[in-house]
Amino acid sequence: DAGVTQSPTHLIKTRGQQVTLRCSPKSGHDTVSWYQQALGQGPQFIFQYYEEEERQRGNFPDRFSGHQFPNYSSELNVNALLLGDSALYLCASSLVGSGEQYFGPGTRLTVT
């Protein structure tokens, strides 16, 4: 049973650039959520996608955007990168209507 996968594992970008992170949900799951985890902190909710639409959004600026594809995989895009965007980005998948989320291994983004 394939779990949640994310790519790339690590990424280094320069301030002002744009980045795209990718996530494939656990087999059978249809909902994808994205979280940002700064060093030494708990994850913070960015947004959640179901049926290719953003269903919920946390307190993040419009520079953070996403997409969900018909096969339920998802992308997280961040524009105009800031140093403060350096973090571990976690993707989690679930079945719609289920509170239980399963996480991928994360993408470590470093902005210099």
Report the amino acid identity of residue 19: V
DSSP class of residue 51?
T
Q: x/- contact string, 17-56, with other proteins (CB under 8 A)? A: --------------x-x-x----xxxxxx--x-x----xx
Q: Yes or no: say if 47 and 54 are a contact pair by the CB < 8 Å rule.
A: yes
- Does 60 participate in binding other proteins (rule CB under 8 A)? no
Q: In this structure, which amino acid lies at residue 15?
A: R
Nearer to other proteins, 48 or 85 (CB): 48
Amino acid at the residue 46: I
Where do we find the tokens 């994850």?
43
Q: Point out which residues bind other proteins (CB under 8 A).
A: 31, 33, 35, 40-45, 48, 50, 55-56, 58, 88, 90, 92, 94, 96-106, 108
